[in-house]
Amino acid sequence: MTVTFVDVDVRAILRAGGEPFDKIMEAVNTLKPGEGLRLLATFKPTPLLHVLGSKGFTHEAKELDGGDWEVLFSPSGKPPANAASPGAATVDKSVWPEPVQHLDNRELDPPEPMVRILATLESMAQGDVLSALLCREPIFLFPELAKRGHSWRGAFEEDGSTYKVLVRVGAAKEAAA
């Protein structure tokens, strides 16, 4: 199958100090069957490779002259991972203990909320739950939580601007044991 690519150039946004994630995801969400994404960025977007991989895309990345990067995201033909993928919390909320730690990261700029959450989890006991408030969905955090064996659940609060995530330390490891 021949893939046609939709171009998204985020180099100007990145050079201006902006965050292009919303623009990238908006383009991904409008792709039609058989379409991929050609991303131009000022660096290799490693976290995005995992995010789009979980949405059913493979990638080819190459460095361009001047240090910029071109990444071709192609549909893999496999269904995207869903909320029940490894690491994502599928456990009924009633079996989760109350959070023992609470973080309000809404005023922090990326990647500080992720760094703060991961550092806090390191000091918590297996089975403990962390509650964190954020100003956006922490999509780059989820692959890190999965790698470290934690489970999570999260959603936007009713105000629509606060994302609340609960992380259970080592819960994915417990289920595998």
105 shares its domain with 159: yes
Residue 80 lies in a domain: no
101 shares its domain with 58: no
- Choose the final residue of a domain: 15, 42, 75: 75
Residue 86 lies in a domain: no
CA-CA distance, 46 to 85, in Å (whole number)?
20
Residue 84 lies in a domain: no
Instruction: Give the SS3 label for residue 65.
Output: helix
pLDDT digits (tens, 9 = 90+) for 94-114: 478 899 999 999 999 888 999
| Residues belonging to the chain | 177
Q: What is the DSSP letter of 88?
A: B
104 shares its domain with 157: yes
pLDDT at site 158: 81
How do strand 151-156 and strand 163-168 relate by DSSP bridges? antiparallel
pLDDT at site 89: 40
pLDDT at site 143: 86
104 shares its domain with 170: yes
Residue 11 lies in a domain: yes
pLDDT digits (tens, 9 = 90+) for 18-33: 888 888 888 988 999 8
**pTM of the predicted model as reported, rounded to 2 decimal places:** 0.52
Cβ atoms of 137 and 159 within 8 Å: the answer is: no
pLDDT at site 93: 43
pLDDT at site 79: 59
Which range of residues forms the domain containing residue 36? Answer: 4-75
CA-CA distance, 137 to 51, in Å (whole number)?
12
Hey, which residues does 9 pair with through a beta bridge?
A: 40
Q: 34 Cβ partners below 8 Å, 6+ apart?
A: 1, 2, 3, 4, 75
Residue 134 lies in a domain: yes
Per-residue exposure over 20-46, b if at least 16 CB sit within 10 Å of its own CB, e if not: bbeebbebbeebeeebbbbbbbbeebe
Which run of H or of E encompasses 46? helix 46-54
Q: How many domains does the chain have?
A: 2
